Structure formats: C-alpha cells, structure tokens
A and B are shown apart, each in its own frame.
Chain A
Amino acid sequence: MQIVQLLIYLILFPLIAAVFLLFAKKSVERSWIVKISALAIGVVSLYLLVAGFDKGLITYTISGRIFDLAMLVIELVIAVYLLWLGLRHRKYSVVILVLIQAALLLWFEATYGHTIVELPNNLFFDQFSIIMALIIGIIGSLICVYALGYMETYHEHHKDIADRRGMFFFWMFVFLSAMFGLVFSNNLMWILFFWEITTFCSFILIGYSQTAEATNNAFLALAMNMLGGVAFVAALIYITTIDPSGRLLDLGALINSGYAVAIVPAVLICFAGLTKAAQMPFSSWLVGAMVAPTPVSALLHSSTMVKAGVYIIVRFAPVLTGTTEGMMIAMVGGVTFLLTSCMAISQSNAKKVLAYSTIANLGLVVACAGVGTYNLMWVAILLIIFHAIAKSLLFLCVGTVEHRIGSRDIEDMGGLIERMPKLAIMMFIGMAGMFLAPFGMIISKWAAIEAFIQAPFGLIFIIILAFGGSATLFFWSKWMGKIISVMRHQENLESSIKSEKWTVLWILTGLVVVVALIFPLISSALIEPFIMQIYGHTTRLAEANITIMLLMMGLLIIMPFSMLFQSKTPKMAPPYMGGMTTEGGMRYTGSAGVSRNLVLSNYYLRNYFGEERLFMPGTLACWGLILIAFIMVVGVVL
C-alpha cells in the first residue's frame, strides 16, 4: 500500500466512524463502533511506522481545489454558527474575533484566490509526523475506548446533564481526524483549516455538560484559541503578500526560505501555537477546560489540541534558531514552566494539578523549540512523547478514582493503595513517569540541561529548570505520598471498574515503562533521522548513560519483589500518635477519653506558590515577551 493512502485513510477513517457514531442510538452499537475504529486507527498508525520510518521526508500531490473550496465553506459555516452562539450567550469577544477572522479569510480569498497557484504538495510526512500519528492514533483512540465506560458512569452520576453521547463521540473522532490532518498537511491553508477544527471540537467538548461554568470555560477556550487563529490567518496573508503565487504556503518551502522571509509568519504562527499550547498568558483556558468529562481532558492534554500547539512551534524551530524572536518565545515557555510548576504545588484539585503540570511541560517544549538548536529539538520531541503517555494515564486514573470515591480532591485520595490497589499502582507509575529517574520526563530534563548549556543564553533556562524542576518534584511526591499512605480497614472499590477500562489503563501503564526502556530505539529510528535531515547533525544520550539508566530501571522493577521475601507474619504496630492510638490507627483517644478521627493533610504553601501570587506577574511577563517579539517582527515588516 502506498503511504499516501495511509495518510488519507488516517484522516478520513475517524471521520467516517464519527458519522456512524452520530447515528448509533444503542450503547452496544456505539461501543462496538468505537472499539473497532480505535483498533483500526491504532493498527494503521503502527503500520505507518513500519512502512514509513525509513523513508525520510515525502510529499504528496493531492489535487486541492475542491478541498480548498470545501474547507472554506466549512470554515464559514462554523463561523456563522459561532457568531450565533456568541450573540446568544453574549460573548462579544468571541463575536468580534469570529468577525475579524471571517473578514480576513474572505478578503484573503477575494484578493489572492485567483493569484494562488495550486500547490503541488498538499500532504507530506516525515519521522516527526509518524511520532505524532502514533500519539494521536494509539493514545487518542485508547482514550476514546476508555470514554465508553466513563461516559456511562458519568451519566449515572449526573442525571441532570442531558445524555448527548452520540454527539460526544462524534466530536471525539472528528478531533482525531483533524489532528491527523494537521500533522500530515503541508499546505498552510490546510493546516489552518484543521487548526480551526480542533479549536471548534475542543469548544464543543469542553461545554458538553452545558452548565454555566462549562459554557463559560468553553467560550474562554474558544476566545483564546481564536486569537491564535487570527494570528495564523495574518501569517497566511503576509506570506501571500510577499509571493502572490502562494508558493510559500508550502510549509516545507516556507521553513527553508530563510530568516528574512519566514520570521514574520513564524512568529505569528508560533503565537497561535502559544495560545493552543495554553502558555501564559493563555494558560487559563486549559485550567478551565477541566470542567469537561475526564476523557476530554485526557484527549486535550495528551494527544490532541495542546500537542498541536507545540507541534507547530517545533516545526518552525529551525526558523527561530538563534533569533531574538525565538528567544522571546522560548522565554515565554520558560516563565510558564517555572510559574505553573510552582502554582501546581498550591492546588489540591487533582485535575488542576494535572493541568498545571501539562502547561509546565509544554512550556519546556516551547523553551526547547524556541531556542531551537538541534539537540534541543531532540529534547522537545522526546518530551512530547513521554508527556503524552504519562499524562493520559494520569487523567484516566483520576477520572476512574473520581467516579469511585466521588471526589477529585487529592486530600480525599488518602490510602488509595488500600481502597484501589491496582489503580494506585498505575497512578504511582504514571507519576514516576512524570518526575523520577529513570523514567521518561527526567530523561528529557537531563538531556535538556545538557543541551541548554551549549545553547546561547542557555544558562537562563538551566536555572529555570533547576528551580521549576524541584517544584515539580514537590507536588508529585506529596500526591504520591497521599495515595500510598496506608489506612487500615478500607473497603475495596475496584470491583466495579469495567474490563475495557482496565485494558486501556494497563496498556498505558505498560507504555510508560516500555517507552522509558526503548526510547533509545525511538530516538535512533525516528528522532535522530528527523533532526539529521534538518540540521545536518544530530544528538543522543551517551551509550554508557543509557546502559546505567536501563540498569536502574531493571533495579526499580525488581525492587518490589523484595517484598516477597518478607516474613509471612510481620510484627505490626499501629502508627505512632504520641501513645494515644486506637482502632487501627485511624482514630485516637483525645482529652477526656473522647475518640477522635485523625485527618492528615498535605502542605500546599499557598502563601508562597498560590495562584493569586504568581498568576499576574507571569501573565504580565509573558505579554511583555510576546510584545517584544511582535515589535521586532513589525521592525522586519517595515
């Protein structure tokens, strides 16, 4: 089979599945369609890896006129719909943004529609596309499968929310399709189209529950992402003004056209990337998006949406390398990483902690891509992979826990190891994947330090990493501590979890470990050839260090077996409570012989790391940095 067919298949198949799901009324039908489609998408993404990993960059000619027209029509339909919604909900910022964008698009079409020649290469793929396709195809579809069981329980718990599951799964699969389109498109017009579709999908999915909060947050996400969309359109207009034939609308051609031509569109499109990747000052939309059902959060955070944002910035990294504009974008990422890592300390809402951690990690990716040297590119891609896996696992775990214990507050997750042992171990592994050696994220952090030290002004980022990294350590460890603290006499709550959920969770847990083990292979087969092709030289971790990491991982895997050699009848004692323990450690005898409950709570250090303390400075700093980048771009234009 030709690879181009695989690409088209991956874009269109989820769309077909989505249409079927829209009309599937029974949950059995829906369940089968989702499972089979997920399998088909996952298998084809893997096949794309097998068939394409050694091919390098390939572009494909797809006759585009009819698609261009269809895309324009769809975009206008969406614009009209959003206009109507915006007016109905009195969200005038959205109305204005929609009007600006639609006006720009129409003007663009009217002015340049006839001058633009048909681009020869509308689709393309290289190793980076394969990596993205695997993330979308495997993790994204696993999340869809998980969503089956989740949404069923969700509607049992929330009787007041209208059951619109057909629509829900429709948009989930459209989302996947749009993401595939985004990473396979070479024509910037097409990328913009898929870009806008992902914005629209996330808007619909965030607002799923139709409560006032959900609607507000959905509009917030929409407004911020549309701001990015406007910048994207501006980039296209600039490109076409330079060359009315539109040859530079070819992504590859644009990136290779050099600083003088490419920097303006690069900064504009990276600005769009910053909004989509929820970097400060736009971080609040992703934090607000946690009102959505958990599979949506998992999808937004791991395999779609925010990953589209960093994807485009990483694509443009070669243009940004060594430029002051790139440095400003990198600084936005750096500041975001530092401040959101700190803010995560002050949060006890599990989904909020996960959200801040996502924003922080994306900040790191942006920082790497903004500086844009070859070894930092390597780190950025590695970060995208590791983060996608561990974060999806954590979201799905939190979602499952939330349905069983009725809370998503970390303080309520005490003793999870007793109540939901398997799930607690999965969460444990997922968190280890986020911050402990020798798992994925720490490998990336390490490589990032080694790469930044060779980059211009890299010291700033190393210092940011040193402080932000320790903040990361703090909030993950205390959460870990919470779930593994042993509280006796707890009821096991795991039995009601459906087998398909278990399957998804086990696969993701396995992936966290396996990918940390085989990342040298991923690097040499996919990342290094990709970097090589762009920069002419590449990087990897030293072999001796990889061996040591593998040995550490081996040690970590066998350590738990030490528990098998313990005495079968251990001598147990209640936890120490100053001599007042009663009833197996959960209660103690207080004054006058009253038996009291013992409640332990974590540190949140709100006076130091609270949102109210860090949010405004971060927002101001990042606006400042973006403003500097824009001023420099205006300088280039003039």
Chain B
Amino acid sequence: MIPEPWAPVVNAVIYLLLAPVVGGLIAGIDRKVTARMQGRVGPPLLQPFYDVGKLFEKENLVVTTTQNFYVLSYLVFMAVSGALFFSGGDMLLVIFAFTLSHIFLVLGAYASYSPYSHVGAERELIQIIAYEPMIIMTAVGMYMVTTSFYVGTIVQSAIPIVLYLPGVFIGYLIVLTIKLRKSPFDLSTSHHAHQELVKGVTTDFAGPNLAKLEIAHWYEYVFLLGVVYLFFAWNPLLAIAAIIIAYFLEILIDNTTSRVKWQMTLRSAWLVAGTLGIINLGVLYYLRMVVVP
C-alpha cells in the first residue's frame, strides 16, 4: 500500500509513464476505426508507435534551432499539466499549464518563416481562444457542484456531476472535437490530407521534433479523456463507457463532416460556451445562491 502523502506523486509518475502508451493505443484504435468507416482495412493497431519510432531514427532537420526548444517545451508542459491533473491538482492550474504548453507549439510554428507554418500558428491560436472559455467553465462548473477545484476532491465527491452539468458536458464534447484535431474543427493541422494546407502548424517540424509532437498529443488525449471521466467519476464503469462512446462520436463526426472556416469554428465554439455553458452554470448558481442558500 502506498502511504497517503505519496499517492499524488505516484499517480503523476504512473501518468508520465503510461499515458504515452495509452494515448498511442487510442491513436491506433482511432486510425483503425476511421479506416473501417471509410471502408479500408487500416493500419495495424500499433502503427502510431512504429511511426514515432521511425521518426526518431530520422535526421533532425530544422529551420531554426529554437524550434527544438519550443517543441521540447510543448512536450514537457503537456506532460506537466497531465501529471498535475492525475495527481489530483487544481483544475485551474492544470488549464493554465495546458495553455502554456500550447503557446509553445504556436511559437514553434511561428519561429519558422514559412507561410504554411504561419497560417497554421494563427489558426492554432484561433482554436485555443475558441475552446478556452468552455474549458474554464468546465472547471468552474465542477467547482460549483463539488465546491472544489482539486481533481482529487472532485473524483472522490461521489456526486453524479454530469447530471448537474449536462450543458457543460455537451459544450465540453464540442470543444473536445477542436482539441482532438477532428474535423470539422481541424483548422491548424489535419489528419485528412484533402482538406489541409500542407501540414499547417507542423509544416516545418521533421523527424524527432515531429515524434515529440506526436507523444505530446498522446499525453493530451489521456488528459482530455480524463476530464470526461470526471463528469462520471461516481461510477467508474459508466465513466469508461462514457469515454468510449464520446471518443467514438468524435471519430464519427470526424469522418462525416468537412472542415469549416475559422470564423465558423470561433463562432460556434463561443456560441456553445455562451449558451449551453452559461445557462447551465447560471441555473446552478441560481439554485445554490437563491433557492438553497
């Protein structure tokens, strides 16, 4: 048995070690399911790992050496924010670390003076501002239900959070589409070659840098799905089912829609946050402040 004070550290270490494995597997399943939806056989389940292994073998071609710094920082802070989350830390701090890591990705793209990379960076920024309000509202909503920003407390609260936050949950699923880089909101870089400007934000990353980027994405997947878990934390089985359904829906949407313009992305994300999020939180607030003082 692990002594109590060390539990957060152990959780963080487990996340740091296992998240890339889980994230890579999710990516593999994603590709497989996507292929089936498109009537293809698809790559083997472990293909993402083969890809990353291959990328690491390649030469590190850069436009400027500062790119290495930005990509490494992106990876490190992505891992840090996930580790903070899984060690039961403060949700707001997790979100700020998460944002910080994305800014490094954007800066890495800006660092290269390539028009494709540049447009990718601008679009990545638009994606960030599109989803950020909803993510913050998610944290605030969880606080209003459980009176804590700490993930550790939220998990143990035994409250069916999703029943209190249905609007926030749907809002979160919609911004999850942006975060998982799924169509129709895959503006900055896309898995679908037919709707991509070269490779957007990742245009000028090659070899090991691209591999690090991929690993950072795996860390990100696990963290983002961890937030879905929180909504259902009172019942772990249900939570895992919810994660699977949510992810399947994301894949389905990815394969049935085509990329929209950035205007549409920003507008729809803010509209969702501005209606579902605010109404949900407003009702909760009203109930807590006025009806049950």
Taking beta carbons and an 8 Å cutoff, which residues of A are in contact with B? 414-415, 417, 436-438, 442, 446, 449-450, 453, 456, 459, 462-463, 465-467, 469-471, 473-474, 477-478, 480-482, 484-487, 542, 544-545, 548-549, 552, 555, 559-560, 562-563, 566-567, 570-578, 585-586, 598, 600, 602-603, 608
A417 contacts which chain B residues (CB < 8 A)? 66
Contact of A562 among B69, B93, B97, B143 (CB under 8 A): B69
Taking beta carbons and an 8 Å cutoff, which residues of B are in contact with A? 59-66, 68-69, 72-73, 76-77, 80, 84, 89-90, 92-93, 96-97, 99-100, 103, 106-107, 109-118, 121-122, 125-126, 128-130, 132-133, 136-137, 140, 143-144, 149, 198, 203-204, 206, 263, 266, 270, 273-274, 277-278, 281-282, 285, 289
Please, could you name 18 A-B residue pairs with CB atoms under 8 Å apart, sorted by A?
Answer: A436-B103, A437-B100, A453-B144, A466-B140, A467-B133, A469-B133, A471-B129, A474-B128, A486-B64, A487-B113, A542-B90, A548-B89, A549-B93, A552-B80, A563-B65, A571-B59, A576-B117, A585-B113
Interface centre among B116, B122, B289 (most CB of A within 10 A): B122
CB A479 to nearest CB in B, in angstroms, measures: 10
Nearest residue, chain B, Cβ from A474: B129
- Complex CA distance for A545 and B282, rounded to whole angstroms: 28
Q: Is the CB of A572 within 8 A of B140?
A: no
Known: A459-B285, A474-B129, A481-B121. A562 touches B68 (CB 8 A): yes
CB B210 to nearest CB in A, in angstroms, measures: 13
Q: Is the CB of B115 within 8 A of A600?
A: yes
Q: Is the CB of B65 within 8 A of A573?
A: no
Q: Is the interface of B mostly helix, strand, loop or mixed?
A: helix
Q: Is the CB of B60 within 8 A of A470?
A: no
- Complex CA distance for A603 and B277, rounded to whole angstroms: 27
- Complex CA distance for A592 and B112, rounded to whole angstroms: 26
A486 contacts which chain B residues (CB < 8 A)? 63-64, 66, 111-113
Nearest residue, chain A, Cβ from B97: A437
B206 contacts which chain A residues (CB < 8 A)? 573
B118 contacts which chain A residues (CB < 8 A)? 485, 600
A586 contacts which chain B residues (CB < 8 A)? 113
Closest 8 CB pairs of A and B: A481-B110, A575-B114, A437-B96, A470-B129, A466-B133, A486-B64, A470-B132, A466-B136
Nearest residue, chain B, Cβ from A565: B68
Q: Is the CB of A459 within 8 A of B281?
A: yes
- Complex CA distance for A219 and B82, rounded to whole angstroms: 53
Known: A478-B125, A570-B62. A576 touches B106 (CB 8 A): no
Q: Is the CB of B103 within 8 A of A573?
A: no
Contact of B203 among A438, A467, A576 (CB under 8 A): A576
B274 contacts which chain A residues (CB < 8 A)? 467
Q: Is the CB of B112 within 8 A of A442?
A: no
Q: Is the CB of A545 within 8 A of B60?
A: no
- Complex CA distance for A578 and B90, rounded to whole angstroms: 44
Known: A437-B93, A548-B84, A563-B66. A577 touches B115 (CB 8 A): yes
Q: Is the CB of B140 within 8 A of A449?
A: yes
Q: Is the CB of B110 within 8 A of A484?
A: yes
B69 contacts which chain A residues (CB < 8 A)? 559-560, 562-563
Q: Is the CB of B107 within 8 A of A480?
A: yes
Known: A473-B128, A563-B69, A598-B113. A575 touches B266 (CB 8 A): no
Interface centre among A415, A470, A577 (most CB of B within 10 A): A470
Known: A446-B92, A555-B80, A566-B68. A436 touches B110 (CB 8 A): no
A562 contacts which chain B residues (CB < 8 A)? 68-69, 72
Contact of B115 among A548, A555, A598, A602 (CB under 8 A): A598
- Complex CA distance for A544 and B289, rounded to whole angstroms: 29
A578 contacts which chain B residues (CB < 8 A)? 116, 198
Nearest residue, chain B, Cβ from A447: B92
Q: Is the CB of A466 within 8 A of B137?
A: yes
Q: Is the CB of A485 within 8 A of B113?
A: yes
Q: Is the CB of A575 within 8 A of B125?
A: no
Known: A559-B73, A573-B61, A577-B114. A456 touches B289 (CB 8 A): yes
A577 contacts which chain B residues (CB < 8 A)? 114-116
Given contacts A459-B282, A469-B136, A485-B118, 15 further A-B contacts (CB under 8 A): A446-B92, A463-B133, A467-B274, A470-B132, A473-B99, A477-B106, A548-B84, A559-B69, A570-B65, A572-B61, A573-B206, A575-B204, A576-B114, A577-B116, A578-B116
Q: Is the CB of B122 within 8 A of A478?
A: yes
